[in-house]
Amino acid sequence: MLSSNAAPCVVVGIDGSQSAVDAALWAIDEAVEADAPLRLVSVIEPTGQSEIDPRDQARRMATAEVAVRYALTAVESTERPVAIELEILQGRPVQALLEAARSAVVLCVGARGLKHATQGRIGSTAAALSAAARCPVAIVRTHRPHSGRSRAVVIEVDEPSEIDSVLHRGLDAARRRGAPVRVLTTGRMRSDAHAQWQRRLAEWQHRYPDLDIASVSTQEGALDYITAHADSIQLVVIGRRRRGGVGAFVGAPGNVALRDTDCSIMVCEPNNAL
């Protein structure tokens, strides 16, 4: 087991599911871009029993080691230039991963943990992490690197205090993947607010001249738009303080709407989280 430290890293939660392996593969680009190690973290949850069975504990440790080694093999097979760290922790998964990610550039988890793999649901651990982590949380549904340049990154612009941070995270993610960008606004804007938004968007287009960035306005909710265009979207970037909360995407509504899609979700931390 490696002790956590303050060095920046990209943390991936590993629980033995294929979804977690997809999250590790997805996270490689994040680690390479940040010039940070990729830390694969597995958490052994307490049994709740007062007495510890040494044989059961040994089996659980062996299971965790197999899981991280399997993910390690998958990452190494890509032959990408990324340093890899392995860590096995004891504790509650949410609390342990939050602590492991205190200095993380991003925390990546699979959308479908072992308990929810067959239902296509975002697991409770992923949902809890997206609401509490001090860094962005990527909830990865699948890893399809060869389709990245054709499928868009959608950035929802919702909460005024988060616009710049969410755009920055989303545009950087799109640049890493060579993907087109659709900046999504919902509801009606007053004419003066619309003009101000267009000027702001033009500034970001100037900063990222290599990206295809277009603004999309919809009177429907953001989740309805994503659902209707899911086949052409690979990643949705939202702010944690979005109106209505992140539950629309990582809770029951999102589970129903996105369960059969490949849309991953990145929840960005508030500006004052760090």
Q: Is the pLDDT of residue 105 over 90?
A: yes
Is 65 in contact with 2 (CB distance < 8 Å)? Answer: no
Q: Is the pLDDT of residue 1 over 50?
A: no
What is the value of pTM for the model shown? 0.88
Average of pLDDT values for 64-88? 97
Note whether 9-140 and 152-268 share their fold. yes
Distance separating alpha carbons of residues 225 and 218, to the nearest angstrom: 7
CB atoms within 10 A of CB 131: 15
pLDDT of residue 241: 86
The topology under which CATH files domain 152-268 is: Rossmann fold (3.40.50)
Joined tokens for residue 138: 């990527």
DSSP state at residue 4: P
Question: For residues 142 and 25, which has the higher predicted lDDT (pLDDT)?
Answer: 25
pLDDT of residue 220: 80
Q: Residue ranges of the domains in the chain?
A: 9-140, 152-268
Average of pLDDT values for 82-100? 95
Bridge partners of residue 216, in order along the sequence = 184
Q: Could you read off the pLDDT of 245-259 as tens digits, one per residue?
A: 888 888 888 878 887
Q: Could you read off the pLDDT of 142-198 as tens digits, one per residue?
A: 877 766 578 999 999 877 777 888 999 999 999 998 999 999 987 766 667 778 888
CATH code of the region 9-140: 3.40.50.620
> Could you tell me the pLDDT band of residue 122, with boundaries at 50, 70 and 90?
low
